[in-house]
A and B are shown apart, each in its own frame.
Chain A
Amino acid sequence: MSDDLDDLYQQVILDHNRSPRNFQKLEGANHVAQGYNPLCGDHLKVYLILDGDVIRDITFDGTGCAISRASASMMTSALKGKTVAEVKQLFKKIHDMVTTGNVREDEIGKLAVFAGVHKFPARVKCAILAWHAALAALDGRAEPVSTE
């Protein structure tokens, strides 16, 4: 397969797609939101327990492509213990990375594997679907958020 493809589907991403982490409904969640990508019909639901300003636990379920599943899996792993302000900052960096390819690895850690997405404009929405849902959950928005 070509280099661009391997940039998109890094081994870590393929692994998270096959066995997503935190892939379950979260009992006792006090914030829940759905993300919807009308382009492909993907639905993700993000559950989290917010304790004051800190995310104590976060999970997801639903259906999606390899990129959106892996992104949700790695996002939930990354956000545990983060404050709302930290999540919003991190989202900005992720969004910047998947649209421009500009990687700040020291600041975003493992999530840098999604940098290759910027070469596939049609797939950017897949990579940030879970993030939109997580932000909506933190904001207490009940309506499903759409990538459109």
Chain B
Amino acid sequence: MKNAAAIAGSSGKSINWKIFRADFPILDQKVHGHPLVYLDNAATSQKPRAVLDVLRRYYEHDNSNVHRGVHELSNRATAAYEAARERAARFINAADADEIVFTRGATEGINLVAQAWGGRHVKSGDHILLTEMEHHSNLVPWQMLAERVGAQLVYLPVTGDDGLLDLSRLDSILTGGVRLFAMTHISNTLGTVNPVADLCARARKAGAVTLVDAAQSAGHRPIDVRAIGCDFLVFSGHKICGPTGIGVLYGRREKLDETPPWQGGGEMILNVDYHKTTYKQPPHCFEAGTPNIAGVIGLGAAMDYLDAIGRDNIWHHDQELAAYACERLSRMKGVRLFGPAVGRAGLVSFLLENIHAHDVVTVADQRGVALRGGHHCNQPLMKKLGIESTARASFYFYNTRAEVDRLVEVIAEIQKYFGQSS
């Protein structure tokens, strides 16, 4: 097997990453006449052939509805669907596959917890604690809940451009009546890696329920929900080499048991009368309607793919690329970097003096380099940092040091183009 050959007998450093890069047909193309350098992985990752093949095979051989059918194809689809649930449980070291709910993505997972669990358990006057670096997806659902039940949002502050959480404030904030603490594992703008196990332990001691947004971490480093000690954790399939429109909500058994059903419909019921319905147990009571079966099966294949490489190896590689990018960019004049100086995840947000992020991204695109520019769904954080937007390069295991060199070269060219040459 190719993967085994590429990894066999190697530590993190000696992996032949080129072999994995070749699994991604999309990367082998020219954009505006230049080889594509895809550095927008924090927005979405590319998909390896292994995942694309599984999707195709499913639709060509096994496509059927799940759970209710008696015929062969339905049995196959159901078996593959539930096997992916087991796979997802292993992926994050959940105690039981029944703690895995399939959602449309991280956003839907958070909305489910906010509306269903929060709707029942968060009361008027309760505090909902968030950090100042949350993505809109881990902020807006809580605002909606707070408005609905009369709860209050409170925030753990971020300190300056370094983008670390001010942990000295945490315990005093937690004693103020926090019912739930929702936090991101890795900031999609700053690259900060939050100490989620410590945050969850302190929250638990104060009696608060915890939710971890692992959208930026699940595909990049090993995740162990029991070591983290969270009550809920969410992530999206499309950022971890899987299809779009599928994601995972992990809920500790006890927490899912106290969460009322969310959307009603087929699949989630035991018995329906005209005036009364009884529901299935978790996780099935949270999966109303025909689910994204192909997406779930594709997600399982993505998890197999990533774990064959080893997420500890991926983490090492991504961090090394980001550190190399920071080192080279920090030596350039007129480049302002955001995020922690050490220990950052595989992404770098930056601004060029007197050049707007959108101009940077437009010119980079013309040179084949795909970056993201804007507020990264972090408008309150941008305001706090006193900026409107940043440009962001985010890396994955198929990116190379040569691509970082290319990024640096293009940035120098952009500075010259806008007359801000260093």
Contact = CB atoms under 8 A, between A and B. Distances in A.
B358 A5 contact: no
Nearest to A1: B417
Interface in B386-422: 388-389, 413, 417-419
A120 B358 CA distance: 12
Interface stretch (B234-242, B265-273, B280-288, B371-379): B371-379
Nearest to A42: B388
Given A39-B374, A40-B373, A41-B379, A123 B419 contact: no
A67 B360 CA distance: 12
A126 B366 contact: no
Nearest to A126: B358
Contact of B356 (A2, A5, A43, A64): A64
Contacts of A46: none
B359 interface: yes
Interface residues of B, number: 22
Contacts of A63: 388
Nearest to A39: B374
B9 interface: no
Nearest to A2: B366
- In the complex, which range does the number of interface residues on chain A fall in? 20 to 34
A8 B362 contact: yes
30 contacts: A1-B363, A1-B366, A2-B32, A2-B33, A2-B366, A4-B32, A4-B366, A5-B363, A5-B366, A5-B417, A9-B359, A9-B417, A9-B418, A14-B418, A14-B419, A39-B374, A40-B358, A40-B388, A40-B389, A41-B374, A41-B388, A41-B389, A42-B388, A64-B356, A65-B358, A66-B355, A66-B418, A120-B362, A122-B362, A123-B362
Among all A-B residue pairs, the 6 with the closest Cβ atoms: A65-B356, A41-B388, A65-B358, A66-B359, A41-B375, A5-B366
Interface of A: 1-2, 4-5, 8-9, 14, 17-18, 39-43, 63-67, 120, 122-123, 126
